Copies of this chain bind each other. A is one copy, B any other.
């Protein structure tokens, strides 16, 4: 199944919108064949089934995200700055590929049951954030938090849901500027919080 010929791979993207719209179950293999122009027999020659189609598409998306985020966090800036850059990078890729995102949400359950994908998902989304949190505590550009893992999960959720929801609401005309707008809002939230200036406190009693 690895080493899918490039031509087929690119045709396969034609199935993303279909899957995004109806879910994988609502999509017949025959529909995918028709939408991509790849005959059913050929699909089965290269792929192991419907799930493999989804897996191929999502692996790709996750690799794009992991790649973009990877570049963003590799700079020499402070962790705080890198966090902001990473947020923008992740949202950028997501908004650039709304159909893939919608397919991902729609079949999240299946995705998390595909072992390779679950790993890719963690690597693309969660781990970079966790790393930045650690770095930030070390270089002083981010506050030390009580429960870094819970906070990383929440940040991951904030970014991802915002991106997903933007993707679901409809493909944008200007994905990259929208990504900048959205990520500004998110960075604003996760860096400065919602408490009015001057009221900061330790929440624990």
Contacts and interface: CB of A to CB of B under 8 A. Distances in A.
Contact of A161 (B147, B160, B168, B185): B160
Contact of A25 (B25, B142, B191): B25
Contacts of A201: 192
A157 interface: yes
A185 B147 CA distance: 6
A63 to B, nearest CB: 21
Interface stretch (A6-14, A36-44, A103-111): A103-111
**Which applies to chain A's interface (DSSP): helix, strand, loop or mixed?**
helix
Interface string A124-159: 000000000100100011110111001101111111
A147 B141 CA distance: 25
A190 B185 CA distance: 12
Interface in A158-205: 158-162, 165, 168, 181-182, 184-197, 200-201, 203-204
A159 B136 CA distance: 22
A122 to B, nearest CB: 11
26 contacts: A23-B113, A25-B25, A84-B203, A105-B108, A106-B110, A106-B112, A136-B194, A141-B196, A142-B194, A143-B194, A145-B188, A145-B194, A147-B182, A150-B162, A150-B181, A150-B186, A151-B188, A151-B189, A151-B194, A153-B162, A154-B162, A154-B186, A157-B158, A157-B161, A161-B161, A192-B200
